[in-house]
Amino acid sequence: MSVGSYTQRRGELETYFDRTAADNWARLTSDAPVSGIRATVRAGRDEMRNTLLSWLPADMTGTRLLDAGCGTCALTFEAARRGAQVLAIDLSPTLVQVARERLPEDIDPALIDFRSGDMLDPELGRFDFVVAMDSLIHYLAEDICRILATLASRTERSMAVTFAPKTPALALMHFVGGFFPRGDRAPAIEPVAAKKLLKLVAADPALQSWQPGRTHRVSRGFYTSQALEIVPR
């Protein structure tokens, strides 16, 4: 992974989600009424979150989970209900504050460490599980692979991430989006071919002790995302 490319994209995402889109994102992740298009995105995200949660143990007592790109922490809350000690981190301090305010009364606050910052910060420590739901969809396949390699060095049991699968519809949206003025568009979603990503993972020396596990694609209207589990050999 090029440090420059990762850092540049990270900065763009922080600006977008913490300033431009913070209010819309907070609304999307609530139960407030939304447009038909956003309703499909909400439904897709709900399905994807449930998929990733189904890949985690029902009883997570005594385990530590990194929710990388936690947003408003819907997944974090469910993992905490299972007993996990969760470090929930996002680039957007605004969304992390929304998550703090939404903390359900039935969850012990001591189970969640809310942070704003870089999910790759080595100071975050080691984890049993890592989940990154739709936080890597803005990165190229090569960067996703290196992100996985970095996280793998501090993870014991599994990593579950999502990426934007390279489909004709997403490829067209990516192409058309390039014609909009930069100031008028969100950071681009980067369509990734699953075969290419798996090939990169298989060839990365830092991931030789890991292998692909389950995978699942969710397509709901304007939401398309693919989950990939990486587990120790």
Identify whether the C-beta of residue 147 lies closer than 8 Å to the C-beta of residue 136.
yes
What pTM value is reported for the model?
0.89
Task: Give the model confidence (pLDDT) of 189-220 as tens digits.
Answer: 899 999 999 999 999 999 999 999 999 999 99
Cα torsion 16, 20, 22, 28: sign:
negative
pLDDT of residue 205: 97
The total domain count for the chain is: 1
pLDDT of residue 171: 59
* Domain extent at residue 56: 3-232
pLDDT of residue 143: 95
Provide the b/e sequence for 191-216 (b: ≥16 CB within 10 Å).
bbebeebbebbeebeebeebeeeeeb
Rounded CA separation 59/83 (Å): 7
pLDDT above 90: residue 98: yes
Identify whether the C-beta of residue 95 lies closer than 8 Å to the C-beta of residue 18.
yes
Which residue type does 28 have? Answer: L
Structure confidence at residue 173 as a pLDDT band (50, 70, 90): low
Gyration radius of the chain over CA positions: 17
Region at 74 (left for phi over 0; alpha for psi -120 to 50; beta for the rest) = alpha
CATH of the domain at 59: 3.40.50.150
